Amino acid sequence: MPNSMVPRFAADNSNNTPAATWLAFAHLCDHLASTRGKLSKRKAIADFLRPLAAPPAGLAAQFLTGTPFPQADERKAQTGGQTMVRVVREIAGATPEQFSAAYRKYGDLGAAAEDLLRGQAPAGAPLTLEDIHRNFQELAATRMQSAKTSTLLQLLRALTPLEAKYCIKLLLGDMRIGVKQSLVEEAIAEACGEPVADVRRAETMRGDIAAVVALAWTRTLSSARFRMFHPLGFMLATPAPDAQEAFARFLPDGAGTPTGQVENKYDGMRAQIHCGAAEEPGRVRIFSRTREDITASFPELAEWFAMAPEPAVLDGEILAWDPSKSRALPFTSLQPRIGRKRVTPKMRTESFLVFVAFDLLAVREELLLEQPLRERRARLEQWSERMLQAAAANPRFVLAGQPELFSGDTSASERIPRLHLAPAQPVQSAAQIDAAFDEAQQSGNEGLMFKALDSVYEPGRRGLAWIKLKRELSTLDVVVTAVEYGNGRRAAVLSDYTFAVRAGDQLRNIGKAYSGLTDAEILELTQHFLANRIDARGGQILVEPTIVLEVAFNNVMQSERHDSGYALRFPRIVRIRPDKPITQIDTLERVAELFRNQHKGAAANAHGSANVHGDDR
Ligand code: AMP
């Protein structure tokens, strides 16, 4: 790179660097929201970051990924939609009707606030990115609603309408500016002239994009080291339309050597287990797909993996297990644990939990992500052998089992480890895949996973190296946008849910479902929705879009009933997906594809009708 093009990196926030104001950031976001091309977006972000010192550039990068705090950070701002509505109405002096009209016009709380606050002059000097960050920290530090409300009031009063719009959107985790983390990583690379692969690698290690900017700005990306007990990103799979297509991608090569392996797709909760650190024996951390620490929800797994003889990071699925049949129980048996901060002894006796491992990401200090799957799998088998031996030799194993479940027969629980290996077979023939699919279903699993044997582990990416084939003809992951009280027995609870898919940066409704959840789930959701109510009209309550559901349905129709132009026929809720962020729900493109496939008759295929290339699932 010629010298004149080398960006100036300020070591501190000196006067040479332009002030990183929140207003400039809000303008950038508005520009990104209206810019279509990825390259133009990337350039706009790079141009914004380049002249900034590392701390504000890091914050800007962090905020552009759509969350106030790094993914690996446990802090949450926890400001519900209802608090936000109250604060916006108070500052704008808006009546409920005025608020309703603005919300309905935009379908987005940030944009509605911008409209209502128009003409308001902010109190005090312009805020910087660092000022905003301090306020977010304050919000995260208090659990008291009154303190949150007063911090928010003060903050929003200090902002222009445009600034308030993006502050609210960021706090609600709903930026809708068409920017993914991978694009921010590319922009960081472009801004500092370092290879994007180095930026990505550092992000994988640190799970904190602001920290990565600090390294990039001082040209020390290569110093990022993997640290045990800090979550790595999860590799994701692309849906296959049918078994033939999946098989075709993993045909044995010319010499008949397999290129792929097939595993069952388990219907549990994806998790990453870190265990066995030599310097902290007994320490175990379990992370969810959104990189949250969920160790407290699964104490029996933490106790069991505390016996690990050597440090490892495992990728797999937590399942409720039927020890007598050696198979997984339905997801509903696991569900009471999800999101639970304290697990009672009674809950521990209700289901026996295991971890089915399918990948090994690190052993000792060695990160294995760059190793091909065949190598990682071999190492996983070796590690798991050692782990099982260590557990069997450990007197704690008996305690870590659950004698209660075996009606006093403790010898049975002694023999049941908490670690299972996901069986994997090399992909050989279409007939073998059909049989494997049927077998997976008979064992109560969701379908199959195909994985390329020479593929590296790509954290946070959804590529074609992993392909999933699901049971249902079609299910969609959607977000609830509006709720209503039910009838009869359900008259006191919010049990009717209108839900949407993503259309670019918008949400578009495609259906309404009433059935599929348990009474306990409906009760819990009712409380959640009441706290996140944004607006009401007639019997319908608009809610902050946070609850992701997986819905099954018979087919897709074109319809004017919802603003997507489509409606699902006989939708029913398969389950709540607390593990899936709203950014990963299904898209209108996928709905359109399902609709077209139905018409081509492809939907009649029993193994699914998703589009492999269409969207980012
Ligand atoms: P979906 O949740 O439908 O996007 O499918 C991806 C999810 O399948 C992963 O996040 C895992 O939780 C789950 N899964 C189940 N079995 C496997 C497996 N053998 N390999 C990888 N992922 C699996």
Cβ neighbors of 400 (< 8 A, separation 6 or more) are 300, 303, 304, 307, 391, 418
Residue nearest to ligand 1 atom 5, measured at CA:
237
Interval 30-77: pLDDT, tens: 999 999 999 999 999 999 999 999 999 999 999 999 999 987 677 777
pLDDT at position 105 = 85
pLDDT at 182 over 80: yes
Same domain, 282 and 392: yes
Query: Residue-wise over 557-573: b if at least 16 C-beta within 10 A, else e?
Result: eeeeebebbbbbeebeb
Q: What's the CA gap between 575 and 530, in Å, rounded? A: 20
Number of structural domains, the chain?
4
Helices 81-92 and 519-531: angle between axes, nearest 10 degrees: 20
Q: Of 165, 265, 451, 512, which one is the catalytic site residue?
A: 265
pLDDT at 15 over 50: no
Examine residue 245 and state whether it is found in any structural domain, yes or no.
Answer: yes
Same domain, 254 and 207: no
DSSP state of 17: S
Examine residue 75 and state whether it is found in any structural domain, yes or no.
Answer: no
**Residue ending a domain, choose from 171, 194, 209:** 171
pLDDT cut 90: percent of the chain above it: 54
Around ligand 1, the residues with Cβ closer than 6 Å are 237, 263, 265-266, 270, 289, 317, 358, 422, 449, 468
Q: 485 with 495: CB under 8 angstroms?
A: yes
Examine residue 141 and state whether it is found in any structural domain, yes or no.
Answer: yes
The values of phi and psi at residue 582, to 5°, are: -60, -25
- How far does residue 381's CA lie from ligand 1's centre (Å)? 20
Q: Which of 286, 288, 317 for mutating ligand 1's site (highest number of atoms within 8 Å of CB)?
A: 317
Q: Which of 380, 468, 469, 550 for mutating ligand 1's site (highest number of atoms within 8 Å of CB)?
A: 468
pLDDT at position 580 = 85
Same domain, 213 and 247: no
Same domain, 214 and 247: no
Examine residue 615 and state whether it is found in any structural domain, yes or no.
Answer: no
DSSP state of 21: B
- Closest atom of ligand 1 to CA, residue 550: 3
The CATH number covering residue 105 comes to: 1.10.3260.10
Examine residue 610 and state whether it is found in any structural domain, yes or no.
Answer: no
- Closest atom of ligand 1 to CA, residue 584: 4
Q: 231 with 271: CB under 8 angstroms?
A: no
Same domain, 141 and 188: no
Residue nearest to ligand 1 atom 8, measured at CA:
265
pLDDT at 476 over 60: yes
Q: What's the CA gap between 570 and 362, in Å, rounded? A: 45
Same domain, 114 and 61: no
Please identify which residue in the block is written with the tokens 């609850």. 547
Examine residue 613 and state whether it is found in any structural domain, yes or no.
Answer: no
pLDDT class of 237 with cuts at 50, 70, 90: very high
Which two structure tokens, joined as six digits, stand for 416? 């049941």
The CATH number covering residue 580 comes to: 2.40.50.140
Q: 35 with 107: CB under 8 angstroms?
A: no
Same domain, 114 and 217: no
Examine residue 151 and state whether it is found in any structural domain, yes or no.
Answer: yes
Same domain, 44 and 102: no
Q: What's the CA gap between 360 and 209, in Å, rounded? A: 24
Q: What's the CA gap between 186 and 43, in Å, rounded? A: 9
Same domain, 303 and 318: yes
Same domain, 203 and 342: no
Examine residue 607 and state whether it is found in any structural domain, yes or no.
Answer: no
Residue numbers of the domain that contains 120: 81-171
Looking at the DSSP bridge assignments, the partners of residue 314 are 273, 360
Please tell me the least confidently modeled range out of 31-35, 119-123, 234-238: 119-123
Same domain, 250 and 107: no
38 is known as an active-site residue: no
**Residue ending a domain, choose from 402, 432, 460:** 460
Same domain, 485 and 439: no
pLDDT at position 392 = 84
Residue nearest to ligand 1 atom 1, measured at CA:
237
The CATH number covering residue 352 comes to: 3.30.470.30
Q: What's the CA gap between 590 and 611, in Å, rounded? A: 7
